[in-house]
Structure 1
């Protein structure tokens, strides 16, 4: 098989890149090791920046997003019973959209056949070859048969555990990582949200987040020790803990119900540099991970794809290699700013096991400053809605 761009991974990053390339009449093939049902069933982020919405608008794959998504104009920070409202619409003139990553993925997949975007599912033993040359290729096994896909470029959109980043020689890259000493226990429930905006709560027992997927479906999170087990958290225990951590004003509006899904995810900050090695380009979780605080994971992947699709379209359509040469530097400049915001919001809203009384006083002082300073609120708001590309 031959194509212009081989895309590894059929998550949102790979699918968005594939659609943008096909819109420009550039050939590409997506390889995915999981089944379509598995990919569509993954529960992930739910807050879309303007950048991510713009991609779906540009592709014309936006009908469900605008019909079912919820535009949000702000969010709240909670601490010690008080709510600090960050009015992002008033401060920045922009809004974010509540629309689950699961739905984004489904929309992109549903549109793929009519737009000539080919996805090969359940491929095994994916290996990248000759990535420092102009003739790289990918080998894999599909249905028990070995296959080879030749391309001009390879886009590694295969997540943190995929083969793309591991194909870069150790001497050619550098890793930066911070692993947090706790995780998030997430629970999805078919109950109306307790508030029309997200609430990020700092409590003595740990962080909590009240979020949503729709007017009738809620998503909640609580901070738990890294070695905690989901089996130790029956639904009622989660609801009790949420009610305590979110504070009386928010908890009074919580509607309880059975969990549709519960899981525990570890938190880490991670960046791999550079995001290009020869003919291989990394995007999304293959190159960087952010804590879910601040909802940057999917949106940061989307900004990578804006840079990468522009670069590849310029190369194939205009013989312009500038975007290819500058992709890694442009993407990393935004990656590190998003890493900083996610890290700072995580530190502000969570209780760390080794926190001293001084550390707690610093949290309180920072929250007091945010509550009283329009300038501090503006800085948070402009990062939350997404920095300019």
Structure 2
């Protein structure tokens, strides 16, 4: 089997890259370790920067998002009961789109099927070979049959636990990591959202987030210790804790119901450099992880896809390797800015086990500035809605 670009990973970044490349006349094969049903069962983020909205439209995979997604002009920050709306549209003339990552993945699978792209789910024992040569290849097993895929370029879109990043020699890779001493307990419920826009809430009991997927599907989170287990939390216990962390007027209008999904996610900031090794290019979670506080995980993967798509198009159409040579540095420059924003939001809104009274006061002072200073609000709006590609 041969293709121009072998894409390792059939999540949203791999599928989006494949869709864009195929529409540009560049052949791909996507190898995904899990089944399609498994990939589509994963519950992930749902706040899209407008750059990602544009990429989905360019990929011909935005029709359902445009019909069912919810543009948001702002977001809300709460601090011990008081609440301030950050008006993105008024401050900088931009929006975000609320549309679930699972829905994006479904739309991209449908788009790939419609153009006859090759996506092989349940591809096992994937290994990358000769990635520093001009003729790399991938071996894998599919439906019990060992196979070889020859290609010109490999895009590693296979996430934090995939094979792509470890293919880069350990002596070449440099990693940066911060692990946070808490997780997010999240539930999904078929209830109307408590707010038309997201609410990020700081309280003496810890952080909470009110989010949504559609007018009858809500996604809520509370900060919990890493020692907690999902089994420790009944639905009633979650709702009581969530109410206690929200401003009183928000808690009063909260509609509760049975959870249809419940999980605890640990938080970390992680970057691996470089994102290129020969003809292997890392994309998305294969190279970086952000805490969800700034809604940057999927959006950072999208900016990687943008830079890599531009570079591969120049390479295959004109034989120009300049953009490929600069892919890692271009992507990392934007990644580190998003890392800073996600880290800042996480440090600002959560309770930490070793916090002093001074630390709490500094959080309050920074939030005071955000609540009252238009320049601080503009800076948040610029970062939240997405820095330019």
1:125 is aligned to: 125
Do the aligned partners of 2:128 and 2:136 also contact (CA within 8 Å) in 1? yes
The aligned length equals 389
Query: What are the equivalent positions in structure 2 for 1:149-168 lying under 5 Å apart?
Result: 149-168=149-168
Secondary structure of 1:161's partner? coil
Shift of 1:84: 1.4
Do the aligned partners of 1:135 and 1:152 also contact (CA within 8 Å) in 2? yes
Secondary structure of 2:292's partner? coil
2:180 is aligned to: 180
Shift of 1:343: 0.2
Do the aligned partners of 1:22 and 1:116 also contact (CA within 8 Å) in 2? no
Question: What are the Cα deviations for residues 297-335 of structure 1, in whole angstroms up to 9, with x where unaligned?
Answer: 000000000000000010000111111000000000000
Secondary structure of 1:353's partner? coil
**Structure 2 Cα separation of the partners of residues 120 and 321 of structure 1:** 28
Do the aligned partners of 2:69 and 2:97 also contact (CA within 8 Å) in 1? yes
Question: What are the Cα deviations for residues 66-95 of structure 1, in whole angstroms up to 9, with x where unaligned?
Answer: 111011011111111100110011111011
Q: Where in structure 1 are there 5+ consecutive unaligned residues?
A: none
Shifted more, 331-340 versus 246-255: the winner is 246-255
Shift of 1:253: 1.2
Do the aligned partners of 1:46 and 1:101 also contact (CA within 8 Å) in 2? yes
The alignment status of 1:267 with 2:270, answered yes or no, reads: no
**Structure 2 Cα separation of the partners of residues 230 and 121 of structure 1:** 30
2:96 is aligned to: 96
**Structure 2 Cα separation of the partners of residues 286 and 214 of structure 1:** 29
1:328 is aligned to: 328
Do the aligned partners of 2:60 and 2:111 also contact (CA within 8 Å) in 1? no
Shift of 1:115: 1.3
1:343 is aligned to: 343
Question: What are the Cα deviations for residues 271-300 of structure 1, in whole angstroms up to 9, with x where unaligned?
Answer: 000000001000000000000001000000
The alignment status of 1:292 with 2:303, answered yes or no, reads: no
Query: Normalized against structure 2, the TM-score is what?
Result: 0.99
Shift of 1:21: 0.5
2:48 is aligned to: 48
Query: What are the equivalent positions in structure 2 for 1:373-388 lying under 5 Å apart?
Result: 373-388=373-388
Query: What are the equivalent positions in structure 2 for 1:273-288 lying under 5 Å apart?
Result: 273-288=273-288
**Structure 2 Cα separation of the partners of residues 337 and 117 of structure 1:** 34
Q: Where in structure 2 are there 5+ consecutive unaligned residues?
A: none
**Structure 2 Cα separation of the partners of residues 277 and 356 of structure 1:** 44
Do the aligned partners of 2:188 and 2:259 also contact (CA within 8 Å) in 1? yes
Shift of 1:244: 0.3
Secondary structure of 1:172's partner? coil
Query: Normalized against structure 1, the TM-score is what?
Result: 0.99
1:25 is aligned to: 25
The alignment status of 1:203 with 2:226, answered yes or no, reads: no
Shift of 1:116: 2.6
**Structure 2 Cα separation of the partners of residues 330 and 117 of structure 1:** 28
Shift of 1:249: 1.4
Question: What are the Cα deviations for residues 83-128 of structure 1, in whole angstroms up to 9, with x where unaligned?
Answer: 0110011111011000000000000001112213110010111111
**Structure 2 Cα separation of the partners of residues 372 and 112 of structure 1:** 47
Do the aligned partners of 2:21 and 2:313 also contact (CA within 8 Å) in 1? yes
